Amino acid sequence: MRWSNLFVPTLREPPADAEAANHKLLIRGGFIRQLHSGHYSLLPLGLRVHEKVAAIVRREMDAIGGQEFLLPAMHPAEVWKKSGRWHAVGEEMFRLVDRKGADNVLGMTHEEIFTDVAQEITSYRSLPQIWYQIQWKFRDEPRPKSGLLRVREFAMKDSYSFDIDEAGLDRSFDVHHDAYVRIFAALGLPAIPVEASSGAMGGSGSTEFMVPSSAGEDDIALCGNCGYAANVERAKARLSVVEDRDLSELARFPTPGVRTIADLETIEGGASAVHQIKTMVMVLDGEVTLALLRGDHELEIQKLADFTGAADVRPATAQETLQHLGANPGSLGAVHVDGLRVVCDPALEGRRGLTTGANEDDWHWSGVDIARDVAVDEWADLRRVQADEPCQNCGTPLEIVRCIEAGHIFKLGTKYSDALGASVLDPNGNQKPLVMGSYGIGIGRNVAAVAEIHHDDKGLLWPLNVAPFEVVITIVNTKDDASAAAGESLYNDLRSAGVDVLLDDRDARAGVKFADAELIGVPYRVTVGPRALADGDVELTSRATGDTTRVGVDSIAALLVDTVNRERG
RNA sequence: CGGGACGUGGCGCAGCUCGGUAGCGCACCUGCUUUGGGAGCAGGGGGUCGCUGGUUCAAAUCCAGUCGUCCCGACCA
């Protein structure tokens, strides 16, 4: 490709509303342009990177026996109604009505559609199957953000495994896990597999691949010693031991103006946070529920959702709280509360001498004995792990690390095959529902993640695997005939050797060309100019290290072919 | 959905307080000079000032509404 013919609208300044590094650099480098919130056009450079990421994913999926499909992006509502997700998903799904008045959706994922196809698998002898596609998903995100990291329309590699039993699913899950490890390694992403919540997808377990980055949106708990890693939506930690206070008598006491745990710590007759009960009033699919935690702990809403299976979990409004408990936040508690579901964190199990709200404004209880005074319906781990809490395995203080969710794999079980009637005959002639897994990698998000991880103050620093070009030949002065001829000759040699090479033949000043090459992040730059050419040399500069070496005109092509082949991996 | 900010040529911004018919830098076009780290000089093209309505002799500027975008919190590849 010749730069003089390529559309690469580089900018010296990023748009004012770009915040994330990947966003700024992909815009500045002429890779993407925004059409609309959450919808980006891929320009030629952006598409090249996108396709290279997709090619790596495709290669690894093929390597584990995946078969590539391409399913429709638009689906009839019926199939989503069969699985129950037409109602379960809510506003995240784009829905539209066709001319016949029929409901349709733009696919946000494809469990239903692949399972529909899988109805034609009839025998256990055909199993296992791994099916995948790289295809566009549509999700009406409440808040698209950070360039390509979170958008409403994006290419995703989604794959689905079909097995006869759980053991088969475990194997399919494991080969996907390993394939994902290889994919992220090839992309130069230091992804950490972590235990995750499977959320609305359903199923028995899931693993997320998390790339540490401040641009991310998820927190994981990480043990630097034993390697324990889990999304905070699931993470556990050892509980610090608390000695109960010697207060066995339940007593009401006035707490004028007390609204927070901290207030209650300092007021006369109050208690330190570890001796308080935090009462969170939540609404689970319309049912008002009390979630109880130790005063110094925080509620992890996803844990509550996972435990209860509720699809919609939200804090109660002020009116709901007042209506059901008779008091405002700050004076709430579960003592002697009847008729509301009470879910309690194990950190409160067996605790006594506690202090909590009395469900009357400006009054609290002291001397609360959980077992005696609170009608707990269910016990469930509800607390969000905090930094420096001891690892449950080895006791080392946990780190909380902000991450980009680069991939997510799920064990689905038979949720979709049951709903859609996808079953096979087992060796004994019995109908068995297919045991399924589903596995996703967002292609554009991974482009963004690589950009987020690999850049410096001059621009992008693509790993060779995904760089829009592997080599750029910068002709310092195109009016110098010898330079132009040498550049053209090298360009032809590299092209015929299969190197992805860009010839910067623009009639521009050298500084402009150098700056652009660095901005778009081409791993190797060959500078062809009269200075080195006088000695029969060109200069080879590594984008990653900035190191420049002189190489003879006669040997540069072979050296680059060699280098590129080695780094392609 | 709650909170905050912002919409003026492709990008970055000024102008708005105090209404008078739009300006700067980058980018772009032409010419000359220049040519190893974002050149210089001269000339030039491009903007319904997000949209709608209102106030006014007159609106980028004041008022109301509306749409959109971004950021922070609740959601997910």
Cβ A174 to strand B below 7 Å: no
Asked whether residue A569 carries a pLDDT value surpassing 80, the answer given is no
Cβ A10 to strand B below 7 Å: yes
Nucleotide closest to residue A158 (CA–C1') = B77
Name the average pLDDT for chain A.
Answer: 93
**CA triplet A136, A138, A139: central angle to 5 degrees?**
145
Cβ A218 to strand B below 7 Å: yes
Cβ A11 to strand B below 7 Å: yes
More confident residue, A233 or A69: A69
Which chain A residues 454-473 have CB under 7 A to strand B?
458
Q: Quick one: average pLDDT of A68-90?
A: 93
A445-461 pLDDT tens trace:
999 999 999 999 999 99
Cβ A85 to strand B below 7 Å: no
pLDDT band, residue A199 (cuts 50/70/90): low
Q: What is the pTM of this model?
A: 0.94
Cβ A550 to strand B below 7 Å: no
- Residue bearing tokens 């609170």: A374
CB atoms within 10 A of CB A433: 18
Contacts 24+ apart (CB under 8 A), A452-458: A452/A20, A452/A21, A452/A22, A452/A149, A452/A211, A452/A213, A452/A215, A452/A404, A453/A188, A453/A189, A453/A190, A453/A211, A453/A213, A454/A188, A454/A521, A455/A21, A455/A22, A455/A25, A455/A521, A458/A515, A458/A518, A458/A519
A474-525 pLDDT tens trace:
999 999 999 999 999 999 999 999 999 999 999 999 999 999 999 999 999 9
Q: Quick one: average pLDDT of A310-321?
A: 82
pLDDT band, residue A328 (cuts 50/70/90): confident
pLDDT band, residue A17 (cuts 50/70/90): confident
* Confidence (pLDDT) at A439: 97
CA of A13 to C1' of B12 (A): 6
Asked whether residue A202 carries a pLDDT value surpassing 60, the answer given is no
Cβ A153 to strand B below 7 Å: no
How far is residue A556's CA from residue A162's CA, in Å, rounded to a whole number?
50
Tokens matching residue A432: 């068995």
Nucleotide closest to residue A445 (CA–C1') = B77
Cβ A309 to strand B below 7 Å: no
- Residue bearing tokens 């494809």: A110
How far is residue A85's CA from residue A77's CA, in Å, rounded to a whole number?
10
* Confidence (pLDDT) at A312: 80
ipTM over 0.90: yes
* Confidence (pLDDT) at A201: 59
Nucleotides of B under 7 A from a protein CB: 1-2, 10-13, 25-27, 34-39, 68-77
Share of chain A above pLDDT 70, in %: 99
* A426 to A76, A237, A457, A523: CA distances (angstroms): 31, 42, 59, 53
Cβ A442 to strand B below 7 Å: yes
Tokens matching residue A413: 């079980």
Cβ A34 to strand B below 7 Å: yes
**Residue with smallest Cα–C1' gap to B35:** A509
**Residue with smallest Cα–C1' gap to B34:** A509
Q: Quick one: average pLDDT of A213-218?
A: 91
One-letter identity of residue A73: A
How far is residue A154's CA from residue A143's CA, in Å, rounded to a whole number?
15
A374-386 pLDDT tens trace:
999 999 999 999 9
Cβ A407 to strand B below 7 Å: yes
* Confidence (pLDDT) at A257: 85
pLDDT band, residue A424 (cuts 50/70/90): very high
* Tally of helices (H runs) and strands (E runs) in chain A: 16, 33
Report the DSSP beta bridge partners of residue A169. none
Nucleotide closest to residue A512 (CA–C1') = B38
How far is residue A286's CA from residue A50's CA, in Å, rounded to a whole number?
42
Tokens matching residue A506: 């623009």
Cβ A108 to strand B below 7 Å: no
Residues 6 or more apart whose Cβ sits within 8 Å of residue A268: none
Lowest mean pLDDT among A15-19, A35-39, A97-101: A15-19
Tokens matching residue A217: 């949106």
Cβ A527 to strand B below 7 Å: yes
CA of A410 to C1' of B58 (A): 66
* Confidence (pLDDT) at A495: 98
Cβ A405 to strand B below 7 Å: yes
